[in-house]
Amino acid sequence: MELLRIGVVGCGAIGREHINRITNRLAGGKVVAVSDLYVEGAHQVGDPLGATVYINSADLVNDPDVDAIICTTPAFAHKETVIQALSRQADFLRKAADDNRRGFFGAGGNRDGAGKKADSGRLYAPI
């Protein structure tokens, strides 16, 4: 099985839980990069894993060593990261969406400008 190199955007409680599951319970995946606006928190999570720590999601998304991205930021902050990931054509792995999907891509639907679909309703659903 090929190792899936995962970047996690958001290192708060939800991000840490996803990182814990990837690191300790799942086979075939490894967290190789993390980002958070709270740099100290990102280092607390990323340094023990040997993960690259970024202070913004754009740098993580554009890291060629990242195969897939999980976004665990608050719902209002998902859109920018998802659009960045889609423009790079990276797999985007995301936690289940909140009830307000309109806040995810706006009232126009859940497609980016290039017409790629972003599945925001399944746990760890690659697009």
Q: Transcribe 83-117 into DSSP letters.
A: HHHHHHT-EEEEPPP-S-THHHH-TT-SB-TT--B
Residues 6+ apart with CB under 8 A from 14: 72, 95
- pLDDT higher than threshold 50 for residue 30: yes
Instruction: Give every strand in the sheet of 4-9, ordered side by side.
Output: 52-54, 29-35, 4-9, 68-71, 91-94
- The pLDDT > 70 percentage for the chain reads 69
Total-model pTM = 0.72
Question: Are the CB atoms for 51 and 31 separated by under 8 Å?
Answer: yes
Copy the structure tokens of residue 35.
Answer: 């980002």
pLDDT at 60: 93
Residues 124, 70: Cα–Cα separation, whole Å: 8
Model confidence over 73-92: pLDDT tens digits? 888 887 788 777 777 765 55
- pLDDT higher than threshold 60 for residue 15: yes
